[in-house]
């Protein structure tokens, strides 16, 4: 029996340098449950990932006796892994009493072995649309300025290019600047949910973390939307336009605008995919959007269990049942339905969550699970939703994926909204 290899734990020296601690082997965690990491469950740190130093925290790792101990050196470190890769374990750290809440990123475990960083993760989507090798910011700025000249009076194009592509480095906005793949169409300054980890709205009275993207302040017109989306659908390879972006509230708050825009777009072109990223709160409106020509929908879900869904999403005027109804309506129209499933080891991989996810798939007949990393400080999340960090009999995220695939082989796994070809190859009407 070959001995399983354990990578070393790592720590930051406080000067932006990360070192391996050769006295400790790397640890991972699911909720409050800690365990050793082994190389055969890890991948090299994907290109385009970031490595973080975690203030007020010490690295936890396993010494030669197999005891879980805190590293005396520096600060804990974690990886913010590149898109298309799903985390399997959170980083293991020990909080100091004055440890600040961490900003809205994912904090995946990381280890070091023979000159390389490794992370417990899987490449869940082969699509390379957000791989960093595609993004040369100098070229993006040049192309972005050309687009601003092409649409001088278009407020939405200005927001997408000047804010999203040039400041937030949003991959979708930068792909729009490069005239390829998925382009963003934000439309709504308001929302009918109060997600704890909303990246576009954090109430400074109750939240210790900043929003990562300031929310859109305009409501575009049908003409402003049609003006740039039709050329994108006509000319871009594997073209998709997506309503519902990180820099806005809930697009269904503007459903009439979306309906009229979709009709106007489809009157000019039948190319590409028109997608809606949403909290799914208004199934009746969703029905009318599919009548208008919508092609696919993606509904956000931090948990398939109503209790954790309500404590995180904090819906104002809707329920999780409404969000699931929106998925069913997409299937009723024979269209593609995905969930934007926030993966948090310790919550996502419990037996209860697996059962609830199986029930959700069975009742909605959804086509795809987008296994997305939950961008939030796990300790802050667990405290905000009063979650005891279940952990001890966690199944492991990979095991959950395996069980779902065994029971629902037709459910497509990925990270991104599928283009027309991917849908055609994987659409199973069941
Ligand atoms: S649904 Fe989206 S915009 Fe609304 S609070 Fe949640 S994350 Fe924010």
Residues 99, 184: one domain? no
Residues 173, 211: one domain? yes
129, part of any domain: no
Ligand 1 lined by 185 (C-beta under 6 Å)? no
Range of the domain at 291: 137-426
Residues 27, 101: one domain? yes
pTM as predicted: 0.96
List the single range of 188-192, 202-206, 223-227, 335-339 with lowest mean pLDDT: 202-206
pLDDT confidence of 283, banded at 50, 70, 90?
very high
Ligand 1 atom closest to residue 197's alpha carbon, by position in its atom list: 7
2, part of any domain: no
Q: How much is the pLDDT for 388?
A: 74
Tens of pLDDT along 30-50?
998 999 999 999 999 999 999
Q: Give me ligand 1 centre to Cα 316, in Å.
A: 11
Q: How much is the pLDDT for 390?
A: 57
Q: Give me ligand 1 centre to Cα 195, in Å.
A: 5
* 197: pLDDT strictly greater than 80: yes
Ligand 1 atom closest to residue 300's alpha carbon, by position in its atom list: 1
Neighbours of 135 (CB within 10 A): 17
* 122: pLDDT strictly greater than 70: yes
* Total domain count, the chain: 2
Q: How much is the pLDDT for 132?
A: 96
128, part of any domain: no
Angle, to 10 degrees, between the axis of helix 222-235 and the axis of helix 255-268?
40
Q: Give me ligand 1 centre to Cα 249, in Å.
A: 6
* 389: pLDDT strictly greater than 70: no
Instruction: Provide mean pLDDT across the span 188-214.
Output: 95
Residues 175, 239: one domain? yes
Last residue of a domain, one of 74, 101, 123: 123
CATH number at residue 196: 3.20.20.70
3, part of any domain: no
Bridge partners (DSSP) of residue 240 are 182, 273
């Amino acid at each position: 029996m070959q001995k399983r290899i354990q990578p070393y734990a790592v720590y930051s020296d406080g000067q932006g340098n990360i070192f391996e601690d050769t006295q400790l082997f790397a640890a991972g965690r699911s909720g409050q449950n800690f365990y050793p990491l082994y190389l055969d469950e890890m991948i090299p740190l994907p290109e385009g990932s970031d490595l973080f130093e975690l203030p007020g925290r010490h690295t936890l790792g396993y010494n030669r006796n197999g005891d879980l101990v805190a590293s005396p050196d520096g600060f804990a470190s974690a990886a913010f892994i590149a898109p298309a890769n799903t985390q399997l374990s959170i980083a293991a750290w020990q909080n100091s009493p004055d440890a600040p809440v961490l900003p809205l990123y994912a904090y995946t475990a990381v280890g070091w072995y023979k000159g390389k960083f490794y992370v417990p993760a899987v490449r869940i989507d082969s699509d390379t649309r957000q791989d960093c090798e595609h993004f040369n910011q100098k070229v993006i700025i040049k192309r972005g300025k050309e687009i601003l000249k092409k649409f001088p009076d278009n407020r939405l194009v200005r927001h997408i290019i000047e804010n999203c592509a040039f400041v937030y480095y949003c991959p979708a906005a930068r792909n729009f600047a490069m005239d390829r793949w998925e382009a963003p169409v934000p439309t709504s300054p308001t929302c009918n949910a109060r997600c704890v980890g909303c990246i576009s709205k954090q109430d400074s009275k109750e939240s210790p973390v900043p929003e990562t993207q300031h929310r859109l302040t305009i409501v575009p017109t049908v003409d402003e939307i049609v003006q740039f989306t039709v050329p994108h659908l006509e000319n871009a390879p594997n073209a998709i336009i997506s309503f519902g972006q990180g820099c806005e509230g809930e697009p269904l708050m503007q459903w009439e605008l979306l309906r009229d825009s979709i009709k106007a777009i489809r009157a000019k072109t039948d190319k590409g995919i028109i997608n809606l990223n949403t909290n799914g709160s208004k199934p009746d409106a969703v029905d009318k959007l599919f009548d208008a020509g919508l092609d696919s929908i993606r509904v956000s879900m931090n948990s398939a269990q109503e209790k954790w869904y309500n404590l995180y999403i904090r819906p104002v005027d809707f329920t999780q049942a409404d969000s699931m109804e929106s998925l069913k309506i997409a299937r009723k129209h024979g269209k593609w339905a995905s969930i934007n499933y926030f993966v948090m080891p310790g919550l996502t991989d419990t037996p209860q969550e697996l059962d609830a996810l199986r029930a959700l798939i069975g009742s909605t007949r959804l086509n795809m699970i987008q296994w997305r990393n939950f961008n939030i400080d796990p300790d802050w999340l667990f405290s905000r939703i009063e979650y005891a960090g279940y952990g001890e009999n966690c199944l492991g995220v990979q095991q959950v994926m395996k069980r779902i695939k065994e029971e629902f082989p037709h459910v497509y796994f990925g990270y991104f909204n599928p283009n027309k070809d991917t849908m055609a190859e994987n659409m199973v009407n069941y």
